[in-house]
Structure 1
Amino acid sequence: MASLSYSQVARMSPRELKKLKEHKKELKEREKVKEFEKELYSKECVAQSINFVVGEANKELPALIDREIFSYYLATILARNKEVVAVWLRILQGRCEIYLSKNSDWLDKDNKYIDNITKYLKNISKNAPVISKDNERDFLEAVTIYCSTKLKSRLKKLHDDIEFYDDNEHVKFFSDFLSVRVTMVSNAENTNIITISGICKEYCEKIKKAKIESRIPSEFLRHIKKVSFYMASTIGIVECARNIQYKSLFSNV
């Protein structure tokens, strides 16, 4: 973002000044996150690890996995509040190892959460290709509760954007789209935050297909995508666990 002159700042309304301050604060936070990521990925020691053992008959399995995307999905659902999580997906002879590190201590509730989601994914894979509705619901619920603080913070930023860009046609369209989808999928008063994440994911897919992303305010679009990442990550991980080609990977945890 280019710096503004004194005269430009002086002409801003109170609402625009508030938005400018928030934007500068967010830029600083993003820089901090980048620094945390550099620090985490440079560490040789790792605080947690998940080992997925793959049988000898599945040596071709690693080629089927998009390591970068799967690592990103895991990093998304393992970060609470202002935490930053680094994920290493290491493919070895006959097995796959996932190493985790973050910019704060691993607590008992973190370990319990990792144990629970590992159990749910193992059960989902074990039952594949039959869909394991109970385990998928429990997995989604666990992710929602664990990530609620960070997701609510991102929803707050998105809500502020909707108010700030209220005269933009694309923002109005999203606001209407969100209202309609919330009414369709649930009672508006009891809408789960992960449901809104799913609606944002649906919207992102819609505008990408229509090739209109460049017309939408960049900050607003970035916040929509950040909210959508949670549902996108849970769906991506569950789809991977459902895939019978990965059955050995998940079943032999």
Structure 2
Amino acid sequence: MDQFEEREKELYSKECVAESINFVVGEVSEDATSLMPHERFSCNLATILARDKEVVAVRLKVLPNGCEIYLFKNFAWLEYDYKYINKIKNYLKIISKNAPMKTCDVERNFYKEVMSYCSVKLESRLKKLKNDIQKHVNNRDVNSFKEFISTKLNEKDRNNSYKISKVCLRYYRLIKNDSNIHPKFLRHIKKVGSYFGSMKEIIECARNIHYKPLFTYVRVYYGRPEIINNHPIYSWENIIKRYTEDDHKYNIFTDRCLAKPEVMERMKKVYTDKATRQQQQQ
């Protein structure tokens, strides 16, 4: 299998997994140290391209004088999506063109655009985090998190999703290796912080003079996952484990998915050979 076929198989596998589950397949893990820079960039793009209940799969194809970005999600692309993606593309082109000089106004507009587009999904994640805090007011970890927030944000900023995401990322990086913290609470902090983390890494990539050629020419292709008979596909485990190197986390995630009948139904659709009606390896 040549490199192009390998990438095609990987992307199609991600599309199928994205079609199966209600999570952003490309969301980058803080612990996924083995990912290449272009893979992390793709994962970060997936985070800022998903709204509400959407799931997104991203493939970045590096060219000698630019790049091609292939995007798939589980809903139809709307005019609003096209306008947003074009704005993001143009912001990054300007940032890259002026690198290593900072273009503060453009970067500020980039952050605002992303926060507006992702607001529904981020608010949903913030709600889960706030529920944790309200339910466990006397918990040591919750009080530690509240104390950290109070030292970093004033009363006004505590309603600012952008600043909350930034502080959550900082806190997560401080405590992510603490095995005593409840995994669910830790996961909710991480997910809120992932927005600032993804935006920051995307900006840093655009500022990096070594990546200037990538942003010289950017072409975006839009598609929607469809199950194609006899198309080669990686297993569920192969794809999910690209985003976490922790077997325990993988098992927890898989158990959560398998507990949902609608996910099981979609998985059967994805992993059933249409010719033989037999289940393929998951």
TM-score w.r.t. length of structure 1: 0.71
Q: Is the 8 A contact 1:36 1:84 kept in 2?
A: no
- Can you give the 5+ residue segments of structure 1 that lack an aligned partner in the other structure? 1-33, 42-63
C-alpha separation in 2, matches of 1:252 and 1:81:
30
C-alpha separation in 2, matches of 1:145 and 1:39:
23
1:233 and 2:198 are equivalent in the alignment: yes
Q: Is the 8 A contact 1:125 1:241 kept in 2?
A: yes
C-alpha separation in 2, matches of 1:100 and 1:113:
14
Q: Tell me how far 1:228 sits from its aligned partner.
A: 0.6
1:206 and 2:174 are equivalent in the alignment: yes
Which aligned runs of 4 or more in structure 1 are off by greater than 3 angstroms? 34-37, 91-95
- Give the stretch that moved more between structures: 104-113 or 173-182: 173-182
CA RMSD of aligned residues (A): 2.3
- Can you give the 5+ residue segments of structure 2 that lack an aligned partner in the other structure? 1-12, 21-34, 219-282
C-alpha offsets along residues 88-122 of structure 1, whole Å, 9 cap, x if unaligned?
12235554221001000100110000000111101
| CA 1:67–1:205: 2 relative to 1, 3 Å | same
Q: Tell me how far 1:182 sits from its aligned partner.
A: 1.0
Paired-residue identity, %: 50
1:137 and 2:108 are equivalent in the alignment: yes
Q: Which amino acid aligns with 2:51?
A: R
- Give the stretch that moved more between structures: 152-161 or 64-73: 64-73
Instruction: Tell me which of 162, 165, 187 is aligned to 2:156.
Output: 187
C-alpha separation in 2, matches of 1:137 and 1:113:
15
SS of the aligned residue for 1:200 comes to helix
Instruction: Tell me which of 27, 50, 59 is aligned to 1:79.
Output: 50
Q: Which amino acid aligns with 1:196?
A: I
Partner in structure 2 of residue 116 of structure 1: 87
| CA 1:111–1:65: 2 relative to 1, 3 Å | same
C-alpha offsets along residues 149-177 of structure 1, whole Å, 9 cap, x if unaligned?
00000000000001122222111110111
- How many residues matched? 192
Instruction: Tell me which of 127, 144, 151 is aligned to 1:156.
Output: 127
SS of the aligned residue for 1:233 comes to helix
C-alpha separation in 2, matches of 1:164 and 1:71:
36
Q: Is the 8 A contact 1:128 1:244 kept in 2?
A: yes
Point out the structure with the larger helix share: 1
Q: Which has the higher contact order (CA 8 A, sep 6+)?
A: 2
C-alpha separation in 1, matches of 2:60 and 2:165:
26
Partner in structure 2 of residue 224 of structure 1: 189
C-alpha offsets along residues 133-159 of structure 1, whole Å, 9 cap, x if unaligned?
001000000000000000000000000
Q: Is the 8 A contact 1:85 1:103 kept in 2?
A: yes
Q: Tell me how far 1:36 sits from its aligned partner.
A: 7.2
Partner in structure 2 of residue 165 of structure 1: 136
Q: Is the 8 A contact 1:37 1:84 kept in 2?
A: no
Q: Tell me how far 1:71 sits from its aligned partner.
A: 1.1
Q: Tell me how far 1:40 sits from its aligned partner.
A: 4.6
| CA 1:37–1:234: 2 relative to 1, 3 Å | farther
Q: Which amino acid aligns with 1:219?
A: K
Q: Is the 8 A contact 2:18 2:56 kept in 1?
A: no
